[in-house]
Amino acid sequence: MSPTVSKKKCIDCDSLQHHKCLAEKTVKLSNYKPGEKGKIVQICGDPDFRLRIMEMGFIKGTEIAVVKYAPLNDPMEFVIRGYHITLRKKQAAHILMNEPELAA
Amino acid sequence: MKQKIVVALAGNPNAGKTTIFNALTGARQHVGNWPGVTVEKKEGTLKHSGQEIHVVDLPGTYSLTAYSLEEIIARNFIVDSSPDLVINVVDASNLERNLYLSVQLLEMGCKLVVALNMIDVARGRGAIIDETLLSSLLGVPVVPTNGKKGVGLDSLVEKVISEVENPELIERDVRLTYGSEVEDELYKIQNLLAHTDYSSRGSQRWLAVKLLEGDSEIIKKIDGLDHREKILEQVSKSRSHLNGIFGDNPEIVLADARYGFISGAIKQTVQVERTNRVNLSETIDKVLTNRLLGPLILLAVLYCVYIFTFNGSAPFVKHFDSFFSWLGENVSTILPEGLLKSLVVSGIIKGVGGVLGFTPLIAFMFFAIAILEDTGYMTRIAFMLDRVLRGFGLHGASMLALMVSGGIAGGCAVPGIMATRTMKEPKERLVTILVAPLMNCGAKLPVYALLIGAFFPGDRASIMFVLTIISWGMALFAGRVIRSTVLSGPSAPFVLELPPYRVPTFRGLLIHTWERTWMYVKKAGTIILAVSILIWALMTFPGLTSEQRAIFQDKQDKLLSNFIKDPVVSIVLKDQEDLNSFEGFESEKTKNHAEKLTDFLKSRNLSHEPQKDADLSIDFQQVNLPVALKYAQYKLEKLRLENEEQSARLKNTIAGRVGSHLEWVFKPIGFDWKTNVALLGGFAAKEVVVSTLGTAYSMGSIEREQYSNLSEQLKNEPGWNPLMAFTLIMFVMLYAPCFVTLVVIRRETGRWRWTIFAMVYTTLLAYCVALIVKTTGTFFGIGLT
């Protein structure tokens, strides 16, 4: 294993890291509000979750728009690559985004 | 021409795969399970210009990694059973994500035809797809289809046949490359693989890719290979090398690269004309998952499912029931009195009939669920309720199963447990299955009605409400405990696609309903016969010894002779022969014994035996009333004796003996052998508790809606008080599910282990709760009078 990928806690999402964590300014997807959109900077979390979600199209640079929160504020609904998907807030917190902007 | 082509259908969930499968194969389908697992396997055949094609519907998956059971099944089928060709059903209106699976299928090196499905939806959204270009980019034929309307299916089948007959291909050019660093490592692994005997199965490149991705299933597969150590060593070297370069695991890097390839392909082939049309599905969703309206609509929908399932099926259930009681009656007239008759009528017909009587109920429930699933509302239910239920180890989709099981009192756990089939998360699904029997199913209601009627008259509604709340509380509590003990571990990530709302096809709904209902009848039916006979035997043998029976017979004889010898009776009914012909006498207006007696005597007077009448210079009108009274008394006494005998017989059966032997266990909660044997009987079906209690308390067989006698009796029995009644209610609510439910649990979990667990934990829970109720009640002196 190369030194850059040593297992350590991620500052942003508090998960065990198996990959390089970005230091730049990011916003957790779980902090986005309905009607906001932005681009994925980094996906954290355990490897299974990361792979799963990447296979669903959550790739760095992909645009995500938040549609709404469920009636009890969790989970949340997004549009990505033209389809709708829902994630729990806890999982959405593992997706680090750039600064949100208002969706058209 | 090949004799029979085998084609596999692969595709994302919601891509319309099932619609295409139904359209291709029609009614020539067969539903089973994949070996060893409970995932449905659908197969069907079709004939096209003399060519027979066998279609296997693979589970809908987003990918072919070893993430879920479905993905492993789909993958193994393609690799191990090597179908002649794979049809990849792709949702054209959601092309990007759908192509991810296509790319993986390409990598596997199998012959592939892409069905560009829902092309109409994509066009409606203003997307124009260049199929020819897409086909040349992917290197496989692409056929636009509309599964719902059957458009493009003929050309799809023709393409399939011509592709299968096309001898070329298999080692097609690698269209998707991962960049020189990854390719170098893949080359190294592939080189090693080339020297093994595995080379013949599946594409080597695919194997190399999977090894590089660290796929545990594939690593298991190469277990027996010669150079296993060497290969694994190279794999781990390559993995850490790539990790160093990209700063991430190779599987992530490869996923990224695949989407890169797809994005490129999309850019070239899809043109989107900007249309600002309002998306209907999104508009509907704004209402249906609205913060305020959403939950209200959800409750209304669940209530409708419930009403539809139970009220809609009621007439059919009634027909089934009356058919089986008709059958029972007819068979009992044919068969001679005795064990065989008892076995056939009380054992087999009642047992099997009781279970098959569920069939309409199951069919209606599956129809309702098919509507929820096919429209896309089911995922919204999960979306809205996830927050509430996940705290209890359940899942948003558990709600439906719990409702059907008796969330509103009167459901049934059998369809409820079968409703969990829509859940993809194994642990959450298992927990739902295990707690569903705690709900107040319809069969528990007669027991409640009996006890509430006897001990809480006037409080019926409020007690029922309390019981509903308690059963929900218990189910959620049990879910929480099971999830944090027996089934601990992290919950599956809640990654749920919310597909656009769609209008389901009636044909699709019917096929769905039929398949699942038939599975129930077939699978449940086989074991039910055996268990019915077993339960019948337990409640029948060994019964009374011949001496005991002789004692009862003696009592009967004495009763009879006393009746006939009675000075008043003997005037009109001289001997047993007279009595028999009186009892066999059929009169037009036999409203009561007195009238019947009059008619009987008149007819005898007219016809024969004039010497008897000559002896009797008595006015019949004067004598027949007291005789009728005596006769009624005699009948009542006779019935009492018979019931006493039944009760004694029941006590002497295996079930009765077990009940007696268990008295010390159940003494703390106040149950005697009569209650115990009734609870054992309830294992066949919960409502049997009432009829068995009736037998045990010498009340004869109790029919539904006739418990007032038993209620009265229980009220006057020593040891019975409101507290005892409530303790029993709690026990009946929670204890072991009936055997039909257990059979379904076995079927749906695939394990006897979980079936036994369901039986044991519920009974323990029931015992503990009953004990708490009993002790608290006794301590505070509540409900003792």
- Domain of A60, CATH number, reads 2.30.30.90
Chain B contact for A71 (CB, 8 A cutoff): yes
Share of chain B above pLDDT 70, in %: 89
A4 falls within a domain: no
Per residue in B505-516, pLDDT tens?
Answer: 888 899 888 887
Q: Report, in this order, helix, strand and coil percent for chain B, each rounded to 5.
A: 65, 10, 25
Which phi and psi angles does B506 have, rounded to 5°?
Answer: -60, -40
Share of chain B above pLDDT 90, in %: 23
Whether B615 has a pLDDT exceeding 70, the answer reads: no
Q: What angle do CA B520, B521, B527 make, to 5 degrees?
A: 90
Whether B386 has a pLDDT exceeding 80, the answer reads: yes
What residues of B are in contact with residue A21 (Cβ under 8 Å)? none
| Mean pLDDT calculated for residue range B600-615 | 56
Domain at B4-165, CATH from 3.40.50.300, 3.50.50.60, 3.30.470.20, 1.10.150.120: 3.40.50.300
pTM of this structure = 0.78
CA distance A46 to chain B (A): 11
Q: Do domains B4-165 and B180-259 have the same CATH topology?
A: no
Confidence bin at A4 (pLDDT 50/70/90): very low
More confident position, B213 or B493: B213
Q: How far are the Cα atoms of A60, B266, B326, B581 from residue B586, in angstroms, in the given order? A: 90, 87, 22, 10
Per residue in B124-147, pLDDT tens?
Answer: 888 899 999 999 888 899 999 998
Confidence bin at B89 (pLDDT 50/70/90): very high
Per residue in A68-92, pLDDT tens?
Answer: 999 989 899 999 998 999 999 988 9
Tell the residue number behind the tokens 């059919």, with chain if given: B316
Q: Choose the weakest-confidence range: A7-16, B429-438, B537-546.
A: A7-16
Quick check: B402 and B416 in contact, CB under 8 A? yes
Confidence bin at B608 (pLDDT 50/70/90): very low
| Mean pLDDT calculated for residue range B319-330 | 85
Q: In this complex, do A55 and B62 lie within 8 Å of one another by their Cβ atoms?
A: yes
Whether B221 has a pLDDT exceeding 60, the answer reads: yes
Chain B contact for A4 (CB, 8 A cutoff): yes
Whether B84 has a pLDDT exceeding 70, the answer reads: yes
Nearest CA among B396, B395, B405 for reference residue B430? B395
More confident position, B339 or A72: A72
What residues of A are in contact with residue B493 (Cβ under 8 Å)? 48-49, 52-53, 87-88, 91
The number of helix segments (H) and strand segments (E) in chain B equals 37, 10
Chain A contact for B244 (CB, 8 A cutoff): yes
Q: In this complex, do A54 and B252 lie within 8 Å of one another by their Cβ atoms?
A: yes
Q: In this complex, do B67 and A48 lie within 8 Å of one another by their Cβ atoms?
A: yes
Per-residue model confidence (pLDDT) at position B273: 76
Per-residue model confidence (pLDDT) at position A37: 93
Domains contained in chain A, number: 1
Whether B470 has a pLDDT exceeding 90, the answer reads: yes
Task: Transcribe B614-663 into DSSP letters.
Answer: HH--S-HHHHHHHHHHHHHHHHHHHHHHHHHHHHHHHHTBHHHHHHHHTH
Closest-CA residue of chain A to B122: A82
Whether B166 has a pLDDT exceeding 90, the answer reads: no
A35 falls within a domain: yes
Confidence bin at B682 (pLDDT 50/70/90): confident
Confidence bin at B625 (pLDDT 50/70/90): confident
HSE-up (13 A, CA, CB side) for residue B445: 18
Closest-CA residue of chain B to A76: B383
Q: Please name the member of A18, A82, A85 whose beta carbon is closest to the beta carbon of B496.
A: A85
Is the peptide bond between B336 and the residue preceding it cis, with omega within 30 degrees of 0?
no
Distance of CA B256 to the CA centre of its chain: 41
Q: Choose the weakest-confidence range: B209-218, B304-313, B612-621.
A: B612-621
A19 falls within a domain: no
| Mean pLDDT calculated for residue range B457-481 | 88
Per-residue model confidence (pLDDT) at position B178: 87
DSSP 8-state secondary structure symbol assigned to residue B29: E
Q: How far apart are CA B454 and CA B693, in angstroms?
A: 14
The H-or-E segment that residue B53 falls in is strand B51-57
Give the residue from B240, B248, B275, B428 with the most A CB atoms within 10 Å of its CB, the best one to mutate.
B248
Q: In this complex, do B252 and A51 lie within 8 Å of one another by their Cβ atoms?
A: yes
Q: Please name the member of B240, B252, B289 whose beta carbon is closest to the beta carbon of A68.
A: B289
Whether A46 has a pLDDT exceeding 70, the answer reads: yes
Closest-CA residue of chain B to A104: B276
Per-residue model confidence (pLDDT) at position B705: 45
The rounded radius of gyration (Å) of the Cα atoms in chain A is 13
* Token couple for A98: 């750039």
Q: Choose the weakest-confidence range: B118-127, B266-275, B589-598, B725-734.
A: B589-598
Whether B318 has a pLDDT exceeding 50, the answer reads: yes
Per-residue model confidence (pLDDT) at position A8: 55
A8 falls within a domain: no
Which of the given ranges, A21-35, B303-317, B453-467, B472-486, has the highest pLDDT on average?
B472-486
Confidence bin at B617 (pLDDT 50/70/90): very low
What is the 3-state secondary structure of B740-764?
HHHHHHHHHHCCHHHHHHHHHHHHH
Per-residue model confidence (pLDDT) at position B586: 66
Whether A5 has a pLDDT exceeding 60, the answer reads: no
Q: How far apart are CA B351 and CA B529, in angstroms?
A: 7
Whether B774 has a pLDDT exceeding 80, the answer reads: yes
More confident position, B250 or B568: B250
Q: Please name the member of A51, A82, A87 whose beta carbon is closest to the beta carbon of B494.
A: A87
Q: Average model confidence (pLDDT) for chain B?
A: 83
Identity at B402, one-letter amino acid code: L
Closest-CA residue of chain A to B384: A70
Burial class (CB in 10 A: 0-12, 13-18, 19+), B300: exposed
| Mean pLDDT calculated for residue range B742-756 | 90
Closest-CA residue of chain B to A82: B94
Per-residue model confidence (pLDDT) at position A3: 39
More confident position, B294 or B698: B294
Q: How far apart are CA B371 and CA B513, in angstroms?
A: 10
Which of the given ranges, B219-233, B469-483, B659-673, B696-710, has the highest pLDDT on average?
B469-483
Q: Which of residues 59-98 of B touch A (CB under 8 A)?
A: 62-63, 65, 67, 93-94, 96-97
Per-residue model confidence (pLDDT) at position B366: 81
Q: How far are the Cα atoms of B339, B346, B537, B546 from residue B542, in angstroms, in the given order? A: 11, 16, 9, 11
* Token couple for B159: 């393409």
More confident position, B449 or B181: B181
Q: How far apart are CA B772 and CA B767, in angstroms?
A: 9
| Mean pLDDT calculated for residue range A52-67 | 91
Q: In this complex, do A75 and B383 lie within 8 Å of one another by their Cβ atoms?
A: yes
Whether B707 has a pLDDT exceeding 60, the answer reads: no
Q: In this complex, do A5 and B62 lie within 8 Å of one another by their Cβ atoms?
A: no
Whether B595 has a pLDDT exceeding 80, the answer reads: no
Q: In this complex, do B500 and A73 lie within 8 Å of one another by their Cβ atoms?
A: no
Confidence bin at B302 (pLDDT 50/70/90): confident
Chain A contact for B102 (CB, 8 A cutoff): no
Give the residue from B63, B97, B377, B502 with the most A CB atoms within 10 Å of its CB, the best one to mutate.
B97
Chain B contact for A83 (CB, 8 A cutoff): yes
* Token couple for B404: 């059907």
Q: Please name the member of A50, A56, A86 whose beta carbon is closest to the beta carbon of B62.
A: A56
Chain B contact for A8 (CB, 8 A cutoff): no
Q: How far apart are CA B8 and CA B87, in angstroms?
A: 6
Q: How far apart are CA B572 and CA B596, in angstroms?
A: 13
Chain A contact for B13 (CB, 8 A cutoff): no
* Token couple for B442: 């319809």
| Mean pLDDT calculated for residue range B612-638 | 68
Per-residue model confidence (pLDDT) at position B698: 66
Beta bridge partners of B39: none
Confidence bin at B524 (pLDDT 50/70/90): low
Give the alpha-carbon dihedral of B324, B328, B334, B340, to 10 degrees. Answer: 120
Domain span holding position A39: 24-102
More confident position, B510 or B632: B510
Q: Choose the weakest-confidence range: A3-7, B172-176, B318-322.
A: A3-7
Confidence bin at B481 (pLDDT 50/70/90): very high
What residues of A are in contact with residue B97 (Cβ under 8 Å)? 56-57, 81, 83
A15 falls within a domain: no
What residues of A are in contact with residue B380 (Cβ under 8 Å)? none
Task: Transcribe B124-140 into DSSP letters.
Answer: HTTEEE-HHHHHHHHTS
A74 falls within a domain: yes
Whether B160 has a pLDDT exceeding 50, the answer reads: yes
Per-residue model confidence (pLDDT) at position A75: 92
Q: How far are the Cα atoms of B61, B70, B129, B170, B466 from residue B8, in angstroms, in the given order? A: 13, 14, 25, 16, 52
Per-residue model confidence (pLDDT) at position B92: 92
Q: Average model confidence (pLDDT) for chain A?
A: 81
Q: How far apart are CA B69 and CA B669, in angstroms?
A: 45
Q: Does domain B180-259 have CATH number 1.10.3720.10?
A: no
Domain boundaries, chain B: 4-165, 180-259, 546-648
Q: In this complex, do B256 and A60 lie within 8 Å of one another by their Cβ atoms?
A: yes
Number of Cβ pairs closer than 8 Å across A and B?
123
Per residue in B29-43, pLDDT tens?
Answer: 777 767 666 677 889
Quick check: A35 and A102 in contact, CB under 8 A? yes
Per-residue model confidence (pLDDT) at position B68: 75
Closest-CA residue of chain B to A2: B244
Q: Choose the weakest-confidence range: A17-21, B190-194, B398-402, B555-559.
A: A17-21
Chain B contact for A16 (CB, 8 A cutoff): no
Per-residue model confidence (pLDDT) at position B336: 83
Confidence bin at B370 (pLDDT 50/70/90): confident
